[in-house]
Amino acid sequence: MIGVFAKSGQDEAVREFFELFKTPWQFVRAGSFYDVVISTLDDVPPVDCRLLIVYGCSAKRVDAGHGDAFPLLKTASFIYSGGAVPIYCGVRTFAPLAEVVRYVSDNGETVGFYSRPRSLLRLGYDLFDESEYLLTAGQPEEWAHVPTLDLHIEILRNAILQAGIPLLEIPPSPENYSFITCLTHDIDFVGIRSHFFDHSMFGFCYRGTIGAFLKFLRGRLSLDLLIRSWVAVLSLPFVYAGWMKDFWQPFEWYLTAEKDLPSTYFLIPFKRTRGTKVSGANAGRRAAAYDVGDLKSWIERLQNEGCEVAVHGIDSWHSEQKARNESKRVRDAAGRSRVGVRMHWLLADRDTPAILDRADYDYDSTCGYNGAIGYRAGTLQVFRPIGTKKLLELPLHLQDGALFFPEKLNLSEPEAEQRCATLIDQARNLGGVLTVLWHDRSHAAERFWGDFYLRLLKRLRTCRCWFASAEQVIAWFRYRREVKFKSLTAAVPNLVSIHYDGRTPIQPLVTLRIHRPSGQRVGSASEHAAPAFEDISWDGEDSEKLSRICRERLGCFSMDPTVRA
């Protein structure tokens, strides 16, 4: 059991952090013994524990005797497992000391230390301030590639295990899977026939002829695709006449490409509505030439194929009433009681989660980048945005436009494959959900990103991942959040039971993971080696029996409060 001393105003961030790091914890109760105590206070009250972890960029009483604390840095990064971890809310550095193990920044400064005689880990940043910042403001694009919040969890987990303390956790991946893949599509266009003599048609003609030829000269387009692009432009009169297939029509292609895989389609609720509070010279182009009412037959087929439809919001991000109107429009078209949302152009501000929460959306999936791929909130996990009550956020990690648009990353396909492979590897290691966005016409001329998407799907199919629609992902994480750890006694909170008081558990099930201490001291050369663990499947039933099994497994490492590290 982890006990927590938190600064005033941090309670919500603490609770959300431990929904992501799903392990037994509680705010410290006087007179209780804890395996681990985490504190962000400047002066830690007396407490009985095996390991004390003190976070914060302000001076702490425990710093006495460990060298001078150097001035506060506004932002910095430190090295962990061979890579840099950014810190956004301030870092305190320390004088290097020979008798302690140092955590170092990328320029060699000491940002934390471990003192074995005192069983004290001191880190010069505030874990819960960092968590709140990541879940609220998010990371800038230059740090998009780092799953920062998930690494904070990993750092804490490994520190506990390296101190010789076993740990019980519900990992963020379903039973028998290493991670989840959520395939999504933002439907901005449903065909080029809806665009006659407008900016979309003229833009396509330019990009499909001159633009395609320039890409060919730069080696970014093959001769075959150049010819196909020119043929598509020349075929436009026949497409408009209805004599040829509309090559921008998205649904048939994706249903074939993703056969037997559920996916989520975000649909525009109202046509010819650009929305308000949209700035920029091309703001008018945000209006779509269709609305959800035009797609009734496709909605029925998509849902019959096991796919989900949700809202591609126009004004939901800033207006509760408009959010309700857009939600109702899609719910009525799909015959659903609740829906999720992703904002068109990923528009959002700090008030958006609360607005969507009050409008009774089931989830949001706007937290991502237009110009990068990676981890806006620093995590692969679904989370509840700070200040909301029911809304969950499904972060967006990987999208086509960010990979390939010239004004974005502008990657070649081999470069993009390497970037995607890195994200997949991180998902394997950390768990959670990898959310993929491929737009409506990305498979067709003039983009021709369909073959890349097929290769991406093939790679993902070889992984031990669960393919799920957005609503299925949200339902699974809600189930995980409803599992609770409870202390059996007040005096010795380390003795815990596991309870699930919700509805019948969904498939696939959660697992209980029992981590065994690594046997390596904190800060040793092999401190980042994966410790051993045992997974136990749980269907939510007979929780007392399962609690006893877990206590027996953990007991082999001693849960006796008289034993000290």
- pLDDT tens-place string over residues 262-294: 999 999 999 999 999 998 778 888 999 999 999
Q: Does residue 497 contact residue 547 with C-beta atoms inside 8 Å?
A: yes
Q: What residues contact residue 563 under an 8 Å CB cut-off, 6+ apart?
A: none
* Percent over 70 (pLDDT), the chain: 87
Given this model, what pLDDT does residue 102 score?
65
Given this model, what pLDDT does residue 68 score?
58
Residue keyed to tokens 């150049």? 226
Given this model, what pLDDT does residue 94 score?
81
User: Which amino acid is residue 516, in one-letter code?
Assistant: R
My answer on whether omega of the bond before 320 falls inside 30° of 0, hence cis, is no
Categorize the per-residue pLDDT at 565 as very low, low, confident or very high, splitting at 50, 70 and 90: very low
Given this model, what pLDDT does residue 58 score?
87
Q: What residues contact residue 319 under an 8 Å CB cut-off, 6+ apart?
A: 276, 355
User: Which amino acid is residue 280, in one-letter code?
Assistant: G
Q: Does residue 443 contact residue 252 with C-beta atoms inside 8 Å?
A: no
Given this model, what pLDDT does residue 545 score?
63
pLDDT at 439 over 80: yes
Q: Which residue has the higher pLDDT, 93 or 255?
A: 255
Q: Which residue has the higher pLDDT, 71 or 369?
A: 369
State the architecture of 179-191+248-468 in CATH terms: Alpha-Beta Barrel (3.20)
pLDDT tens, position by position, 209-232: 999 899 899 888 899 999 999 999
Categorize the per-residue pLDDT at 521 as very low, low, confident or very high, splitting at 50, 70 and 90: low
**What's the rounded mean pLDDT across residues 179-191?**
96
Q: Does residue 12 contact residue 353 with C-beta atoms inside 8 Å?
A: no
Please state which of the ranges 194-198, 388-392, 462-466, 496-500 shows the lowest mean pLDDT. Answer: 496-500
pLDDT at 176 over 80: yes
Q: Output the average pLDDT for the chain.
A: 88
CA gyration radius, the chain:
26
How many residues can be counted in the chain?
Answer: 565
* Percent over 90 (pLDDT), the chain: 66
pLDDT at 362 over 70: yes
The structure tokens listed for 250 are 């998205």
Q: Does residue 327 contact residue 343 with C-beta atoms inside 8 Å?
A: no
Q: How many CA atoms lie within 13 A of 377 on its CB side?
A: 29
The structure tokens listed for 185 are 């599509």
Given this model, what pLDDT does residue 552 score?
66
Q: Which residue has the higher pLDDT, 75 or 408?
A: 408
State the architecture of 2-169+482-555 in CATH terms: 3-Layer(aba) Sandwich (3.40)
Q: How many CA atoms lie within 13 A of 29 on its CB side?
A: 13
Given this model, what pLDDT does residue 422 score?
97
Q: Does residue 487 contact residue 1 with C-beta atoms inside 8 Å?
A: yes
Q: How far apart are the first and last CA of the chain?
A: 15
pLDDT at 513 over 70: yes
Report angle CA 101, 104, 108 to the nearest 5 degrees.
120
Please state which of the ranges 53-62, 152-161, 224-233, 538-547 shows the lowest mean pLDDT. Answer: 538-547
pLDDT tens, position by position, 394-411: 999 999 999 999 999 999
Given this model, what pLDDT does residue 507 score?
86
**What's the rounded mean pLDDT across residues 500-505?**
71
pLDDT at 143 over 50: yes
Q: Which residue has the higher pLDDT, 561 or 266?
A: 266
Given this model, what pLDDT does residue 556 score?
43
pLDDT at 36 over 60: yes
Given this model, what pLDDT does residue 563 score?
33
DSSP secondary structure letters along 519-565: S--TT-TTTTSPPPEEEEEE-S--HHHHHHHHHHHHHTT---TT---
Please state which of the ranges 116-125, 263-272, 505-514, 537-546 shows the lowest mean pLDDT. Answer: 537-546
Residue 250 gets the label, from left (phi > 0), alpha (psi -120 to 50) or beta, of alpha
Does residue 266 sit in helix, strand or coil? strand
Given this model, what pLDDT does residue 562 score?
35
Residue keyed to tokens 């498979």? 443
Helix, strand, coil % over all residues of the chain, rounded to 5: 35, 20, 45
Given this model, what pLDDT does residue 321 score?
98
**What's the rounded mean pLDDT across residues 179-203?**
93
**What's the rounded mean pLDDT across residues 8-14?**
96
Burial code (b: 16+ CB inside 10 Å, e: under 16) for 277-287 equals ebeeeeeebbb
Q: Which residue has the higher pLDDT, 5 or 541?
A: 5
Residues paired with residue 309 on neighbouring β-strands, in sequence order: 265
Q: What residues contact residue 277 under an 8 Å CB cut-off, 6+ apart?
A: 315, 318, 347
Exposed, middle or buried: residue 556 (CB in 10 Å: 0-12, 13-18, 19+)? exposed
Q: What residues contact residue 519 under an 8 Å CB cut-off, 6+ apart?
A: 164
Rounded to whole angstroms, how far apart are CA atoms 118 and 562?
17
Given this model, what pLDDT does residue 105 score?
66
Categorize the per-residue pLDDT at 66 as very low, low, confident or very high, splitting at 50, 70 and 90: low
Categorize the per-residue pLDDT at 527 as very low, low, confident or very high, splitting at 50, 70 and 90: very low
Q: Does residue 180 contact residue 473 with C-beta atoms inside 8 Å?
A: yes
Highest mean predicted confidence (pLDDT) among 64-68, 489-493, 506-510: 506-510
The structure tokens listed for 474 are 């949200």
